[in-house]
Each structure stands twice: as structure tokens, then as C-alpha cells.
Structure 1
């Protein structure tokens, strides 16, 4: 059960979701993608919930650390 951190704050918005999906796909079952973002990733949560079978939506969590830092955990079943 490992965590992989991905800070997307410096990545252009149009490139973020593909990088996130690639990073999530590379995880092993039971691992978690820890996403550091500049806004709450609620749209990404809904996208993952609808499109990614391995996403454990019940285990998802997000913490707002500042106005420009949100840390979300996307666990893989």
C-alpha cells in the first residue's frame, strides 16, 4: 500500500487530467494517488467515479491546506 504524490499546480490545466489518469493507472491495487492541486478537484472526483473502475470513491478524501493548495487522496481498489 504505497502512496504516489503528484503535484499538478505547475502543469498547464489542459494537461493535468491525462497526467493524473496515467499516474493512477500505474498504481497497484491498494495504492493511493496523492494529488496536490491549486483548487478542489471535485470535477476530477466525479470523472474518476464515472470512468475509472479501479477508483475507490468511498476512500477518497481531500484537505484544503490553503487557498492554493488542496491535497486529495485517490485510492485504487
Structure 2
């Protein structure tokens, strides 16, 4: 089992009411700088959350399982750097 990095924020979802989880996670992700990450701890595989990330930030995140059950799932979610063009004005 991989231990969290010393400066990694760990969001343990197991004690948070289900209706509060996704808004809290999305809010935390929105505040990350490119290259930053956080770790989720959950009591089930968070596949629906991954699908929501894919819909909202299709190429903007990395998802890495650190532990996959059967009773605990740990996932590291990182914000990718945004793709940039030369100056942004031509779209090239």
C-alpha cells in the first residue's frame, strides 16, 4: 500500500454524507494548480465520480488507483497542465 505524500491532501469520504461528496471533491479540484493532486479514500470504487470528471474535464485530470478494495479504495486525482498554443490568439 502506498502512503500519501507528506504534502498531499487526503479527502476521506467515508464519514461524509453522500450528497456532500461530489460537490466537495469538484470544489477542491477546481482550486488545484496544474500538477497538484489530492487523494480520495472511499469505501467503494468511485467510478461514477470518474465518469463525471471525464465529462467535465475530459483531458484535464489524471486518475491513479493507489488501492482497489475490497473495503477501501484510494485514488490520486491530479490536475493536468492546460494545453496552450503559442500565444492563444490564433488557436494554433
TM-score, length of structure 2 as denominator length: 0.69
Match of 1:60 in 2: 63
Match of 2:26 in 1: 21
Structure of higher CA gyration radius: 2
Match of 2:78 in 1: 75
Unmatched tracts of structure 1, length 5 or more? none
Q: Does 1 or 2 have the higher relative contact order (CA < 8 Å, sep 6+)? A: 1
TM-score, length of structure 1 as denominator length: 0.81
Unmatched tracts of structure 2, length 5 or more? 1-6, 81-92
* Residue aligned with 1:75, SS: strand
C-alpha deviation, 1:54, in angstroms: 6.7
C-alpha deviation, 1:24, in angstroms: 0.8
Match of 1:35 in 2: 40
Which structure carries more helix by proportion?
Answer: 1
Residue 9 (1) aligns with residue 14 (2): yes
Calculate the aligned-residue CA RMSD, in Å.
Answer: 1.8
C-alpha deviation, 1:13, in angstroms: 0.5
